[in-house]
A and B are shown apart, each in its own frame.
Chain A
Amino acid sequence: MKSIQKKLALASCTLLSHGLPNTVQAAEGEDWAVDGSLLHYAEEDRITVNKFIGTLVTNVSEADKVKVDLVYDTMSGSTPSGALDGAGSFATISTPSGAGGFSASSGSTSVADFEDTRLGVSVDWEHTKKRVHRINYGSSISVEKDFTSFGLNTNYAQDTSSRIVTYSAGIAATFDSVRRSTGGTPEPFAEYGQGLTLEEGARVTWDTIFGVTRVLNRRTLGQINFSTGLNDGYLTDPYKLISRTVLLDPLDPSQGFDETATYYENRPSSRQRSSVYMSMSHTTRNDNVMHLSYRYYWDDWDVISNTLDYRLKFRYEGGFFIEPHFRYYDQTAANFYMFSIPQETFLLTGFPEYASADYRLDQTESTTVGINIGKTFPGEGKLRVRIEQVEWTYENSLFDTNKALVVQLSYKKLFE
């Protein structure tokens, strides 16, 4: 009887929990749920990340839940700096042993060595009132050797009387401090290894979201969110570089170029971002579960992006499941992205107002193919392992492709 009551309660609460991914998810009617995960992320000849994620959800009363998340990352390897590998005469950043952060790699400015750790903790409290109102308060802190972040957020969700539709809204503020591992931030457009070192960069991010979740039929849920946000402050990457280049033959660009100088990049100090996100989950006639989502994103850096995500979970007897996954992503380049600063332009007009050669601001396409395999233990927990390959293709960057392998092992345990 108790079990039936819990399931009915869960059925009622589930609708509420769909609208806000950041809200505390139902602990399947149990008093405690612990979810632990180990992730290995490895790019070809680039960055390797090992990540631990731990989540604890507990019902502290009939109407209140608390969720605690813990994340610990170790990151190492190398990443493109934005500079072109044409001159080995530039001074390299010397990083104290074990200090973390970036340093120029093997005398080349085009790739920067990278080593850091990250610890993140977030706490969410969710209160349900009269079964149809739910409010969530959250806070988070994240610390790296060259980055600190502190965030606050609140979300509200309300069901209609029929409990077929949930309306939701949320707001979040995040306060970040950015610095190089050696301290401070470089003067914008200062020549690499020279120029003033300024104080650490600070930025504030405001995010808002409005969503509607609807039961379409007894086997389908749909959701649409509109999000908009503003980054304000230091948005430049203190490690990224951009080269000044001159064509070897001005009449024949195909002859290539020579790098004449390397500078620290410079980005605008604000960014207005918006997106529309649509998501759907559906149980098919064969009792498989399909998840489909699409996001259209745009910002005032002229980045426009499409993201399509598709998963289909094949469920078998004994709680086993196999879930293929496919994701497609594309984006246009930011309006200040440049492969390099042309010498001719530089001599005529000097530096542009803003310029970055960060490959992440280039025109990009990406595909992800993967599979998630697992077993559900009813009332006890869930074990799953997934393997995915992600591939990015960049239109203009010096390193025009990147591939990554993702392996994640997770186990969720429920307690009475």
Chain B
Amino acid sequence: MKKNLTIHGILACLLLLTGCSTMKDVSNAVTDSLFSYEKVKPWQKGELAKEDMQLVDDGVMTYADDHIYFSKEAATGGKGVGGGGCGCN
């Protein structure tokens, strides 16, 4: 029951965070191109080259989040290896 409430909470938050127009955007993305494969030529990589599109697009924000969650939760890692240790967990 608690799990179901959480999942519903997640969906509600996603709707609130993104707004209807964005949901349409996301919907289009999912159905149109998010999972579609395309042979991309070098000159078609302009959008992919932008900093915003990097999978880690803000290093200091990611670093801070990793530290916060590492200190408060049992699960960690997944994005990479290395970096400084911390006595907080």
Contact = CB atoms under 8 A, between A and B. Distances in A.
Contact of A25 (B9, B48, B54): B54
B78 A326 contact: no
A312 B24 CA distance: 13
Interface residues of A, number: 123
A207 B80 CA distance: 9
Contact of A218 (B17, B47, B60): B47
Given A69-B63, A326-B10, A364 B85 contact: no
Contacts of A310: 14, 17
A138 B33 contact: no
A367 B9 contact: yes
Interface stretch (A58-66, A141-149, A251-259): A141-149
A387 interface: no
B84 A331 contact: no
B82 A170 contact: yes
Given A149-B85, A281-B57, A372-B61, A15 B48 contact: yes
A120 B84 contact: yes
A215 B48 contact: yes
B41 to A, nearest CB: 9
A221 B48 CA distance: 7
Main DSSP-derived SS at the A contact region: strand
B13 to A, nearest CB: 5
A310 B16 CA distance: 13
A331 B42 contact: no
Interface in B35-71: 35-40, 42, 44-64, 67-69
Nearest to B37: A216
Contacts of A41: 68
Contacts of A360: 72-74, 89
Contacts of A315: 52
Contacts of B46: 11
A330 B5 CA distance: 13
B19 to A, nearest CB: 9
A389 B51 CA distance: 26
B10 to A, nearest CB: 5
A10 interface: yes
Contacts, number: 281
A407 to B, nearest CB: 11
Contacts of B45: 11, 14-15, 215, 218
A208 B53 contact: no
Interface in A205-249: 205, 207-209, 213, 215-221, 223, 225, 227, 229
A141 to B, nearest CB: 7
Given A280-B34, A315-B52, A170 B60 contact: no
Interface string A263-286: 000000000010111011111111
Contacts of A207: 77, 81-82
B33 A219 contact: yes
Interface stretch (A89-97, A105-113, A172-180, A343-351): A172-180
A82 to B, nearest CB: 14
Contacts of B36: 216-217, 220
Contacts of A390: 68, 72
Contact of B54 (A17, A22, A290, A334): A17
A318 interface: no
B64 A37 contact: yes
Given A149-B85, A365-B6, A392-B72, A284 B78 contact: no
Q: Which 7 A-B residue pairings sit nearest by Cβ, starting from the closest?
A: A147-B87, A149-B85, A153-B82, A277-B78, A11-B49, A305-B75, A217-B38
Given A152-B82, A176-B85, A216-B38, 4 more contacts: A55-B60, A121-B84, A305-B74, A367-B9
17 contacts: A14-B53, A21-B56, A22-B82, A69-B63, A163-B42, A218-B40, A225-B80, A281-B52, A283-B47, A284-B25, A284-B29, A305-B75, A334-B74, A361-B74, A367-B6, A367-B9, A369-B17
